[in-house]
Amino acid sequence: SLGMKPQVVFVLGGPGAGKGTQCSKIVEAYSYTHLSAGDLLREERAREGSVDGQLIANYIKEGKIVPVEITINLLKKAMEETMQKDEKMFRFLIDGFPRNEDNLEGWKKVMDGKADVKFVLFFNCKNEVCIDRCLERGKSSGRTDDNRESLDKRIQTYLQSTQPIIELYKKHEKVREVDASRSVDEVFADVKAILDKEG
Ligand code: UP5
Ligand code: MG
């Protein structure tokens, strides 16, 4: 069969806003596949024989955004693998991407016409709450960027590079915003309302 064109929801928000947590809950209740760009990059960093491993490690620790050629290849491959396994899995939550102009250009270059971006699910969370959550997680996460120094850089990158992307989608009325400073269940209640409405 021709299969379905991938239907994509971009999931954005600051570091620790709860993107991953909410995506896990969405996957339990709806027919979506969760692809975290950050998780894919961390996997690639750890993969034996990866030529990009060291570069990825440096970028993540510095809270900088990895060149899109690397990220888009990982995302595209993960989407293709998912749809090859089960052609009914054509709905994707792409978590933590696109984070800047370069990401958006790379997406368009590779995916225009190949996937539909339905909307952006935006987890709006105060910076202080984001930082506290990541520092708390840092006690056990083993993530190289869950420390004060990296977090300051991650927040800076978010404000400088990612917020303008969210603003761009807002102009096109493509942003569905949730107040993410509340409890996991309160946030998810709003997420459900959005997804039930969007279909
Ligand atoms: N938590 C979650 N929700 C909560 C709530 N409502 N109340 C209380 N606590 C809550 O949650 C973070 C922590 O908070 C957890 O301990 C959770 O239990 C708790 P999580 O769901 O993990 O939040 P999330 O938004 O996913 O945070 P994450 O740290 O993953 O966000 P980032 O955007 O910073 O990280 P990501 O993995 O996306 O990217 C990491 C790095 O990879 C980037 O800095 C960048 O260097 C690189 N990257 C790229 O270069 N390009 C990309 O496209 C993507 C990443
Ligand atoms: Mg995450």
Question: Quick one: which atom of ligand 1 is closest to the CA of 22?
Answer: 21
Judged by its nearest atom, the ligand closest to the C-alpha of residue 17 is 1
Task: Sketch out the chain's domains with CATH numbers.
Answer: 7-187 (3.40.50.300)
Cα distance between residue 44 and residue 57, in whole Å = 10
Q: How far is CA 114 from the centre of its chain?
A: 19
**Which pLDDT score is estimated for 148?**
96
Which residue puts its alpha carbon closest to atom 53 of ligand 1?
Answer: 97
Alpha helices in 64-162 (DSSP H): 68-85, 101-111, 127-141, 148-157
Rounded average pLDDT per 10-residue block, the chain, 199 residues? 87 98 98 98 97 98 98 98 95 98 98 97 98 97 97 98 98 98 98 94
Cα distance between residue 126 and residue 134, in whole Å = 13
CA 9 / ligand 1 centre spacing (Å): 17
- Farthest-apart Cα atoms in the chain, separation: 51
The answer to whether the complex's ipTM is over 0.95 is: yes
Task: Say if residues 94 and 10 touch (Cβ distance below 8 Å).
Answer: yes
Its pTM stands at 0.98
Q: Tell the residue number behind the tokens 């997420």, with chain if given.
A: 191
Which of 12, 19, 158 is the pocket-test mutation for ligand 1 (most atoms within 8 Å of CB)?
19
